[in-house]
A and B are shown apart, each in its own frame.
Chain A
Amino acid sequence: MTAKGWRDTVPGGWIKEAGNALEYKTGSWRSIGPVFIPENCINCLFCWAFCPDDAIMVKDGKMVGVNYDYCKGCGICARECPAKNKALVMGEEG
């Protein structure tokens, strides 16, 4: 989101475009994040179900990675991942 000067703000702070929360990249709040290890993943999608944001990316029914634009680093996904060798581990992600 480009930073607007005060003259370009909507009076009263009303948000006129629906769904523009997508533009608010809350991932900057994260200190550590989940690192995805695809070879350990059994595609149970527990991580997708448990993620309190919308930060687990799924394509064609398969877990494909973490969207760090929105991931807060809460660690729930890594904790819930049931794979024998965890497919999500908290650490300094890229």
Chain B
Amino acid sequence: MAQKVAITGNEAVALAMKQINPDVVAAYPITPQTEIVQIFSTYVNNGLIDTEFVTVESEHSAMSATVGAASAGARAMTATSANGLALMWEIVYIAASNRLPIVMPVVNRALSGPINIHCDHSDAMGARDSGWIQLWSENTQEAYDNMIQAVRLAENPNVQLPVMVCMDGFIISHAMENAEVLPDEVVREFIGDYTPQKTLLDKENPVTAGPLAFTDSYFEFKRAQAEAMIQAKPYVLEVAREYAKVSGREYGLFETYKLEDAEVGIVVLGSTAGTAKNVVDKLRGQGFKAGLLKPRVFRPFPAEELATALGHLKALAVMDRADSFNAFSGPLFAEITAAMYDSGAQTKIVNYIYGLGGRDVGLGDIEKVYGHLARIAESGKVDQRLNYLGVRE
């Protein structure tokens, strides 16, 4: 039977990894992800699981060893944060282009510089074009649930793509919350035995992984990789439906909160969505039609579904916990706006960059954003597209 526990995000992810019992985990500690591999390594050390735990000398090596293990046909995982993900970069792309079903929690943290260890989304947003599926979590419960679903999703023969499970550093990773965890045997049965689609270790059928492809074939391989991501969306939903049967918790491409009859709305990823829901409740109490949408699946990007869910709004704020430094907007804004333009929606849209380097985002900050949206809805005009929330002027 499922069990309610008080647990931090890192503990929940380490527990999920223990229940998954991967063949190989190669990892290197980095704050705020350190506890995941630390706790996981004690499970291995105490003989509770039989994972081959590889202590590597850097994140570049962590991802390289994980790619090697996955290529050999192992169920392989690692975990990282921020600069660690940046150091993996070269191999992160190779994991996706070689179509290896690796699962990796990314405990979101700001990239240097200045040096900072606190939460923002610049790490995973930087990897948005690496070809990995990205599942985002609002809290410990979602981080745990996403981890278990990620294994099924990555390993689906029709998907065969690596998955990042994103969760906010410290806010989720280190805060203790109530969460419901599944019994080991339910998780094991849900993920099933791993049957690799390809392996380097079958001497009857020798293969080559990661070969050269020049001008005459590289483009065809990339087109095929793009198609894998295009086709992945229904499998995200299929795995979510299956997971609902064992957990009772429903997941989709995104979650909407009081959005259907809303006049203004906010799109926000991760833990800030929880804060924003409180603000929505308060504003609704005052008769103000506020709503919210929290993306769960950023890759594949559910453009049509997002535009359909948001198109009726008079005014929308897309909140980015990362800046693109492109003199235009943050990454989430650019893609949501493109999706809305394609759909012909008339919604006025503004961008808020917020919470960089762990800058706290309170109820009052979110209320200010809704206040801005109310003014835009009334005037029908966007006064300022790019806004920075909570920065000292």
Contacts and interface: CB of A to CB of B under 8 A. Distances in A.
Interface residues of A, number: 13
Dominant SS among interface residues on chain B? loop
A7 B209 CA distance: 19
Interface stretch (B92-100, B335-343, B350-358): B92-100
A14 B97 contact: no
B210 to A, nearest CB: 7
A9 B220 contact: yes
A84 interface: no
A81 B204 CA distance: 41
Interface in A1-21: 3-7, 9, 11-16, 18
Interface of B: 97-100, 160, 197-198, 205-211, 213, 216-217, 219-221, 223-225, 227-228
Contacts of A5: 220
A77 to B, nearest CB: 25
Nearest to B205: A16
B227 A6 contact: yes
A12 B207 contact: no
Contact of A16 (B98, B160, B207, B220): B207
Nearest to B214: A24
A14 B206 CA distance: 11
A14 B213 CA distance: 11
A12 B208 contact: no
Contacts of B210: 13
Most buried by A among B197, B210, B224, B228: B224
B208 A9 contact: no
B216 A6 contact: no
B160 A11 contact: yes
Contacts of B219: 6
